[in-house]
C-alpha cells in the first residue's frame, strides 16, 4: 500500500510537482540510511499516460484508481494558473470534472487529501470545503472566499490542517506541505532530515508576503478600502471612519473583511501601512524614523515591532 498518491493534473505547476517528487525521493533515501519507515508513493493523473505540465514538461502518470483499501494521502500540487477567469474555466474542463467524484469518494471513506495553491479550488469544486477552514495562495484567497462562502479561508498561514483535508499556500508552499505530511505520516525525524538535506526551512506563515493591493483583486470593497487608506497616509483613517466611508457598522465591515481577506479592519490598515513602509525601505534611503512618520507612526519602535510581528524581519533585513 502507498503512503501518498501524487495526483497531477495537466498544466500543473511544474516546480511544485518536481519538488513533491524530489522530496519523496530524498525521504526514501534518507529513511533507508537511518533505518526509518520508507515512504511509498504513486504518481497518478485523471487518465494514464504522458501529461503536459506547465512550461511544456512531460510526466508519465498512472490512472487514478479508487479503492476502499487505499489509505494513502492524495497530494495535489498547484494547477499552475494565475488568472482567476482561466482557473474557473479549468474547473469546468472534462478532465477535472471526471476526477471530482473520486476526490469526494476518497474523503467520504475517511481518507486524506492535501492540496496547495490553486489546487485547493478543486476541493471546493468537489464539494469538500463546506464548514472547513482552509488556506490557499494569499492572493487567491478573496476569490476562494467568494466562490466558497461556507468555508473559512485563512490566507495568513502556510499549511492548515482541518481533517481530512490539509491545505497550503502559494505554489512553493508545496515544500512546506510535504514536510508537514512527512512529519505527521512518517516521522518528525525523517521530515527534519529531509529539510536539512534540501535546505528547506519550515515556514509557518504567508503573512510576510501579503500585499493588500494585490489581495484586493476581485473584491471591490477591499480594493476601495485599500486605496482609501493609501491615499490618506501618513494620516491613516480610524476603524470608525472606514466603516462610515463604506456606510457599514464596524462589526459588519469587519465581518466582510475577514471573509474576503482573513484580516480585521485594524489589520488591513496595518497591512497598508506596512506595505508602504516596505516599499520605502527597499527603494529609498530614508531613515526608519522618517519612514515611520510617512506611514503614520510617530514612534519608529512601533513600526519595528509591527514588522517583526507580521513580517518576521527587521527594517535592516528588508533593506538588504
Residue 155 shares a structural domain with residue 285: no
pLDDT of residue 171: 77
Q: Which of the listed residues 177, 207, 237 is the one where a domain comes to its end?
A: 207
pLDDT of residue 314: 86
In 64-185, at which residue ranges do the beta strands (DSSP E only) sit? 73-76, 113-116, 133-134, 152-153, 159-162, 165-168
Q: What are phi and psi of 75, to 5 degrees?
A: -115, 125
pLDDT of residue 118: 94
> Which percentage of the chain shows pLDDT scores above 70?
95
Residue 91 shares a structural domain with residue 216: no
pLDDT of residue 214: 67
Residue 190 shares a structural domain with residue 46: yes
pLDDT of residue 131: 94
Contact (Cβ atoms closer than 8 angstroms) between residue 258 and residue 247: no
Residue 122 shares a structural domain with residue 162: yes
The number of domains in the chain is: 2
DSSP run (H or E) holding 301 = helix 300-311
Residue 159 shares a structural domain with residue 255: no
Residue 114, strand partner residues:
75, 166
Please give the C-alpha separations between residue 215 and each of 19, 146, 225, in angstroms, as whole numbers.
26, 13, 12
Residue 94 shares a structural domain with residue 34: yes
CATH number at residue 226: 1.10.10.60
DSSP 151-186: SEE-TTBSEEEETTEEEE-STTHHHHHHHHHHHHHT
Positions of the chain with pLDDT under 50: none
Q: Which of the listed residues 159, 185, 207 is the one where a domain comes to its end?
A: 207
What range does the domain containing 269 cover?
Answer: 210-319
Residue 38 shares a structural domain with residue 98: yes
pLDDT of residue 139: 84
Residue 229 shares a structural domain with residue 191: no
**pTM, two decimal places:** 0.77
Task: Give the burial class of 63: count Cβ atoms within 10 A of its Cβ; 0-12 exposed, 13-18 middle, 19 or more buried.
Answer: exposed
Q: Which of the listed residues 181, 207, 233 is the one where a domain comes to its end?
A: 207
Instruction: Give the rounded distance of the alpha carbon of 287 from its chain centre.
Output: 33
Q: What are phi and psi of 92, to 5 degrees?
A: -100, 0
**Which three cell numbers, joined as nine digits, stand for 7?**
495526483
Residue 246 shares a structural domain with residue 203: no
Residue 32 shares a structural domain with residue 173: yes
CATH number at residue 148: 3.40.50.880
pLDDT of residue 174: 94
pLDDT per residue as tens digits for the range 32-68: 999 999 999 999 999 999 999 998 999 999 999 888 7
Residue 202 shares a structural domain with residue 217: no
Residue 138 shares a structural domain with residue 9: yes
Amino acid at each position: 500500500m502507498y503512503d501518498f498518491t501524487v495526483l497531477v493534473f495537466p498544466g500543473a505547476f511544474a516546480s511544485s510537482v518536481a519538488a513533491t517528487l524530489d522530496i519523496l525521493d530524498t525521504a526514501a533515501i534518507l529513511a533507508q540510511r537511518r533505518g526509518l519507515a520508507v515512504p511509498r508513493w504513486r504518481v497518478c493523473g485523471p487518465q494514464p499516460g504522458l501529461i503536459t505540465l506547465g512550461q511544456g514538461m512531460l510526466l508519465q502518470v498512472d490512472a487514478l484508481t479508487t479503492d476502499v483499501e487505499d489509505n494513502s494521502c492524495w497530494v495535489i500540487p498547484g494547477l499552475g494558473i494565475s488568472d482567476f477567469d482561466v482557473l474557473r474555466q479549468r474547473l469546468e474542463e472534462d478532465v477535472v470534472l471526471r476526477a471530482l467524484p473520486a476526490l469526494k469518494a476518497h474523503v467520504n471513506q475517511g481518507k486524506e487529501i492535501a492540496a496547495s495553491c490553486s489546487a485547493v479550488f478543486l476541493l471546493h469544486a468537489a464539494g469538500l470545503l463546506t464548514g472547513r477552514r482552509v488556506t490557499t495562495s494569499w492572493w487567491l484567497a478573496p476569490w476562494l472566499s467568494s466562490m466558497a462562502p461556507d468555508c473559512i479561508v485563512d490566507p495568513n498561514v502556510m499549511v492548515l490542517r482541518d481533517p481530512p483535508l490539509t491545505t497550503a499556500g502559494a505554489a512553493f508552499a508545496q515544500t512546506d506541505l510535504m514536510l508537514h505530511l512527512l512529519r505527521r505520516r512518517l516521522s518528525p525525524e525523517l521530515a527534519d532530515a529531509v529539510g536539512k538535506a534540501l535546505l528547506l526551512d519550515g515556514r509557518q506563515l504567508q503573512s510576510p508576503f501579503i500585499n493588500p493591493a494585490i489581495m484586493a483583486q476581485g473584491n471591490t470593497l477591499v480594493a476601495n478600502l485599500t486605496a482609501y487608506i493609501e491615499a490618506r497616509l501618513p494620516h491613516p483613517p480610524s476603524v470608525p471612519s472606514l466603516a462610515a466611508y463604506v456606510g457599514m457598522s464596524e462589526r459588519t465591515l469587519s465581518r466582510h473583511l475577514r471573509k474576503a481577506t482573513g484580516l480585521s479592519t485594524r489589520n488591513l490598515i496595518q497591512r497598508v501601512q506596512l506595505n508602504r513602509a516596505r516599499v520605502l525601505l527597499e527603494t529609498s534611503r530614508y531613515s526608519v524614523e522618517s519612514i515611520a512618520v510617512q506611514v503614520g507612526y510617530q514612534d519608529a519602535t512601533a513600526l519595528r515591532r509591527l514588522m517583526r510581528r507580521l513580517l518576521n524581519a527587521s527594517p535592516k533585513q528588508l533593506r538588504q
